[in-house]
């Protein structure tokens, strides 16, 4: 991997599995290449189809080859996991960009917990 800057835009979510007891999810997304450095979107209240349109920046180092997206429902105490997914960065490095809806698979990938629209661009140093 070539060092550089990865710009990640979390555009929106669609048909997120409802984890809330009352109303709909208070959804946010945590994004990371390594667990010790996470970034997150703001929380969108009461929506299973949230629109974030938030841009996050990551400095990419040698060995960074995967980016993780963990989608949560914020609760008064703690949080519930809506879904998780990861993308290999090779496509972004090769093409310089990425613009796709990413499914949030349920256990064993047999069904979906919704999907998130992610755009990424990579600029080498």
Mean pLDDT of the chain: 92
Tens of pLDDT along 77-102? 889 999 999 999 998 998 889 999 99
pLDDT score at 76: 79
pLDDT score at 74: 93
pLDDT score at 34: 82
Strand order in the sheet with 37-40: 37-40, 27-34, 66-74, 79-88
**CATH code 2.60.40.150 for 4-124:** yes
pTM, whole model, 2 decimals?
Answer: 0.93
Q: Report whether pLDDT(108) > 80.
A: no
CA 104 to each of CA 77, 80, 97, 99: distance values in angstroms, whole numbers, following the listed order: 24, 14, 21, 16
Distance CA 73, CA 58 (A): 24
pLDDT score at 1: 67
Q: Report whether pLDDT(2) > 90.
A: no
Tens of pLDDT along 5-39? 999 999 999 999 998 777 899 999 999 998 778 99
Q: Report whether pLDDT(43) > 90.
A: yes
CB 19 within 8 A of CB 71: no
């Amino acid at each position: 991997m070539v060092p550089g800057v990865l710009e990640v835009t979390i555009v929106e979510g669609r048909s997120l599995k409802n984890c809330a007891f009352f109303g709909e999810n208070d959804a946010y997304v945590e994004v990371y290449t390594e667990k010790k450095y996470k970034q997150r979107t703001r929380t969108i209240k009461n929506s299973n189809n949230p629109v974030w349109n938030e841009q996050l920046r990551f400095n990419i180092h040698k060995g960074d080859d995967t980016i993780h997206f963990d989608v949560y429902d914020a609760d008064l105490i703690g949080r519930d996991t809506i879904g998780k997914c990861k993308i290999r960065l090779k496509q972004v490095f090769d093409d310089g960009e990425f613009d796709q809806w990413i499914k949030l698979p349920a256990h064993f990938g047999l069904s979906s917990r919704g999907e998130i629209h992610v755009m990424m661009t990579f600029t080498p140093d």
